[in-house]
Amino acid sequence: MSTAVKIYKNVLNNQTLTYLMKWVSDNELLFKDNGKGRKRLRLQDTNEIFNDFTEIEVKLKNLIKHDGLIPNHEFGDHGHIFLYQNEGVSTDKHIDDYHAGYKTVRINTTISAPEHGGRLVVSGVPIDATVGTTLVFYPSEVEHWSEEVIGKTPRIALSLAYCFPINKQLNA
């Protein structure tokens, strides 16, 4: 099994994070309910993806340094999404589904962090992710969830998902 989670700081600069937060605010009506008060926006479902996404994706993918990554949405899954959790919302414990012969890696960048709670928990370990923190983990291998968001500031994360052959190792 891979290391549960790797934590990176300042992969995206403040200008990019501000841009992402504004983009989320401007497009909040596009977010769909994902059950239990959670909302998400699948980037492949939007007609107008924000202009700088390719540059942002390249910066985040460079953390992994792997050429054979397949965007998860090509398998019919959620793919690249914005996660949005308001006050009182959490995510239940789970391990993501996987496709035969592949495993999944997620690259989550915190765009907005709640005053309290809302932390991603991976393999039982809560991760303190401030705005700009990027987490890399393998959701098809480890149990993960998020704590209840406490306070008016939502938990918002850009979450990129990729599949890669199970016999390959990533540098993350």
Q: Which run of H or of E encompasses 128? A: none
> Within a domain: residue 171?
no
> Within a domain: residue 17?
yes
Residues of the domain holding 120: 5-165
Q: Which residue has the tokens 């939007």?
A: 46
* Rounded (5°) CA angle 154-50-31: 40
How many domains would you assign to the chain? 1
Per-residue confidence (pLDDT) for residue 48, from 0 to 100: 59
Query: pLDDT tens for residues 47-104?
Result: 556 556 778 888 888 888 766 788 777 776 667 888 999 999 999 999 988 778 888 8
> Within a domain: residue 33?
yes
> Within a domain: residue 172?
no
Per-residue confidence (pLDDT) for residue 60, from 0 to 100: 87
* Rounded (5°) CA angle 37-40-43: 170
Query: pLDDT tens for residues 129-152?
Result: 999 999 999 898 899 999 999 999
> Within a domain: residue 100?
yes
> Within a domain: residue 18?
yes
> Within a domain: residue 170?
no
> Within a domain: residue 16?
yes
8-state DSSP, 147: P
**In the predicted structure, residue 115 carries a pLDDT above the cut 90:** yes
Tell me the two tokens of residue 167.
């016999």
Tell me the two tokens of residue 82.
């914005």
CATH code: domain of residue 58? 2.60.120.620
